[in-house]
């Protein structure tokens, strides 16, 4: 009897973000007649697709009780590299060499760069036992600096229609960025729920000592996860660059905070081991709807930030209260 009551309570606490989203939509819908329209629906989803990519990677990292502050800068660098390679290629005048890049080649190079930077994060964290907060904070600065070097401080613009498809195109009636983030989410859900790697991620976050002593190669798992987070930040970078038709040197500033917010609102514990990709997706949608609603209601962008801050606090307080009861 008691156990069924408990599981019911647990289920209810899992539903909380969903209920919150529902209530939020209802309120905004009552206040604004533009909210419940098809175009606004796609609009919200398209706007959050970048954050979803970042937040999915962030969820995997946070599940291991880590944090990745570098995603915003990595996004900017990878977007700039892809844009630069696609537009100008690599020229080596001394050897009379020019390498041109197709859209696919340039995109792969961008994603590969993100993966490499993530790998480097993971390597530093595991090899030198640097706290993830510090290691990725350093990467935040390094990647931003590299972006400035690569772009010389100027946007790389005029990338063409082909490039813009990724950020602004439609496929089967759905915006392309929404497709991309949906695929990312599907892969991440599969990874976290159905694979050995996913199980190890939860185990490491739940008890790193016990995982180590169970013969899990925790360093390998960590490096893989940071690599994934870096690659996903790069995917986000491609979408941002494509949507703006321009790689901005200061793109993605502060995005790490939005993604951490989505993870936390989605119920993933910052101390690791507890949470889910679906929760994060909900968290990202809640933030997106909130942003969208505040814009529709003509609330000043400054107030939007204040409101967002309190929503994050509220989410964590509710989560704390739940875990105390459970």
Partner 1 sequence: MLVAENITKRFSGVTALDNVCLELHEGKVNAILGENGAGKSTLMKILSGVYPDYEGQLLWNGRPVRFANTKEAQEAGIAIIHQELNLIPYLSITENIFLGQEIETIWGTLDKKKMRQTTTELLQKLKLNVAPETKINELKVGQQQLVEIAKALLLSPQVIIMDEPTSAITDQEVETLFDIINELKQENKTIAYISHKLDELFRIADRYIVLRDGKSIDSGEMAGMNHDQLIQKMVGREIFVHQKPALSVPQEELLSVQHFSLKRSTKRPELVLDDLSFTLKRGEILGIFGLMGAGRTELFEALFGLYPSLTTGTVRIEGKEVKITSPVEAVKEGLALVPEDRKRDGIVPIMDVKQNISLASLAYHVEKNGVLNTQAETELATKYIQELGIKTSSSGQLIKNLSGGNQQKAILGKWLATHPKILLLDEPTRGIDVHAKSEIYKLILQLAASGLGILMVSSELPEIFAVSDRVLVLSEGTLTLETPVENATEDKLLKAAISKKC
Min CB(264)–partner 1 separation in Å:
17
CB 295, CB 282: distance < 8 Å: no
Nearer to partner 1, 163 or 200 (CB): 200
Min CB(197)–partner 1 separation in Å:
6
Nearer to partner 1, 7 or 305 (CB): 7
Phi–psi pair at 138, nearest 5 degrees: -60, -45
Min CB(198)–partner 1 separation in Å:
8
Binding footprint of partner 1 on the chain (CB under 8 A)? 3, 194-200, 202-203, 206-207, 209-217, 273-274
CA atoms within 13 A on the CB side of 221: 26
Nearer to partner 1, 168 or 207 (CB): 207
CA quadruple 233, 234, 235, 241: dihedral sign: positive
If you ran DSSP here, which 8-state letter would residue 94 be given?
Answer: G
Nearer to partner 1, 164 or 270 (CB): 270
Nearer to partner 1, 38 or 213 (CB): 213
The C-alpha atoms of residue 74 and residue 76 are separated, in whole angstroms, by: 5
Min CB(182)–partner 1 separation in Å:
21
**DSSP 3-state assignment of 326?**
coil
The C-alpha atoms of residue 233 and residue 241 are separated, in whole angstroms, by: 12
Smallest Cα–Cα separation from 55: which of 188, 172, 174?
Answer: 188
Residue 37 is inside which H or E element, if any?
Answer: none
């Amino acid at each position: 009897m008691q156990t069924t009551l408990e599981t019911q309570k647990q289920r209810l606490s899992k539903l909380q973000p969903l209920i919150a989203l529902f209530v939020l939509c209802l309120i905004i819908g009552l206040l604004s007649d533009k909210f419940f329209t098809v175009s606004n629906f796609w609009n919200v989803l398209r706007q959050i697709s970048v954050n979803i990519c970042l937040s999915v990677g962030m969820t995997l990292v946070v599940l291991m009780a880590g944090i990745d502050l570098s995603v915003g800068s990595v996004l900017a660098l990878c977007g700039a590299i892809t844009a630069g390679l696609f537009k100008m290629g690599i020229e080596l005048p001394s050897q009379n060499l020019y390498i041109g890049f197709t859209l696919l080649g340039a995109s792969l190079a961008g994603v590969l760069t993100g993966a490499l930077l993530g790998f480097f994060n993971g390597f530093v964290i595991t090899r030198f036992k640097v706290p993830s907060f510090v290691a990725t904070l350093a990467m935040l600065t390094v990647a931003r600096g590299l972006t400035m070097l690569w772009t010389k401080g100027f946007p790389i613009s005029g990338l063409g229609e082909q490039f813009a498809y990724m950020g602004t195109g439609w496929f089967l009636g759905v915006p392309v960025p929404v497709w991309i983030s949906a695929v990312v989410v599907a892969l991440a859900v599969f990874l976290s729920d159905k694979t050995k790697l996913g199980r190890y991620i939860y185990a490491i976050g739940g008890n790193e000592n016990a995982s180590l002593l169970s013969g899990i190669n925790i360093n390998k798992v960590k490096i893989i996860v940071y690599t994934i987070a870096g690659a996903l930040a790069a995917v986000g970078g491609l979408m941002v660059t494509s949507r703006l038709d321009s790689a901005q040197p200061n793109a993605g500033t502060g995005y790490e905070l939005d993604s951490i917010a989505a993870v936390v609102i989605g119920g993933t514990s910052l101390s690791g081991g507890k949470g889910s990709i679906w929760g994060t997706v909900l968290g990202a949608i809640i933030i997106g709807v909130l942003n969208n609603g505040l814009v529709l209601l003509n609330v000043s962008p400054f107030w939007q930030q204040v409101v967002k801050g309190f929503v994050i606090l509220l989410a964590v307080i509710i989560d704390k209260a739940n875990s105390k009861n459970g």
